Amino acid sequence: MNEQSAISDKLLSDKRVIAEIDRHLWIESEKLGYDIGFENAKADWLKRFSKAWVEYHMPEVLKRAQNGNSAPVAQSVPAAKSAAVNKTPRKRHAKSYLR
């Protein structure tokens, strides 16, 4: 398995990427007037948009990959975010716009 397919496999395990590919499928199918299929949309999205998506949504993973220290995507969550996930939820209050 080459490096590109390993990166693609990691991306495809992310729900946000699947949602982007679904959106790409819809847009491209509308442009062409027929369903292009998920596999074609996936290949096109990975070729055209995956690098920009990773740069925007996962810059820490990209930096690690450039430094030669490739960590799995699941381990790349910053400590502040992972600590916030484990906290008990705060009680939320409705905002009042009538003051």
CA distance 99 to 96: 7
CA distance 66 to 61: 9
95: left (phi over 0), alpha (psi -120 to 50) or beta: beta
Interval 2-19: pLDDT, tens: 666 777 888 889 999 999
Query: How high is the mean pLDDT of the chain?
Result: 78
pTM: 0.60
Residue 69 near residue 48 (C-beta atoms within 8 A): no
pLDDT of residue 95: 65
